[in-house]
Amino acid sequence: MVRSHNSHFSKSAPDKIVVSLNESATQQKKQIMETTEMKETLKSINTTPHLCRSKVKQTALEIAAAIRPANKFSRVGMSFVERIEAKVRAAIREEVRIHPSKGKTLL
């Protein structure tokens, strides 16, 4: 009878099934963790780096109360804040564009 040198390392069929099921569960857990990390990363990306969102929202609600008192706005959506961010970026771009090309400081 010839025995393989690695016979004690080989797995029986049921052991292989258990190992493959464990690997599958581990892969699913890793995928769930990666998905969660991706969502957290996306949440942590600042879409309005030039603004203090809380101040923009507060100011918008104060102005809304003064200009349009009948409407009673109480919330400010992210789309509003992102539009303000786009306008700030455009204003900065325009100021840089029209600035004279002398010196080192934007005045």
84: number of Cβ within 10 Å: 19
pLDDT one-digit tens code per residue, 28-37: 766 776 766 6
Of 32, 49, 51, the C-alpha closest to 40 is: 32
Check residue 5 and give its pLDDT.
53
Check residue 48 and give its pLDDT.
84
Check residue 86 and give its pLDDT.
94
Place of tokens 């080989």: 10
Do residues 49 and 86 make contact, with C-beta atoms less than 8 angstroms apart? no
pLDDT one-digit tens code per residue, 65-101: 999 989 889 999 999 999 999 999 999 999 999 999 8
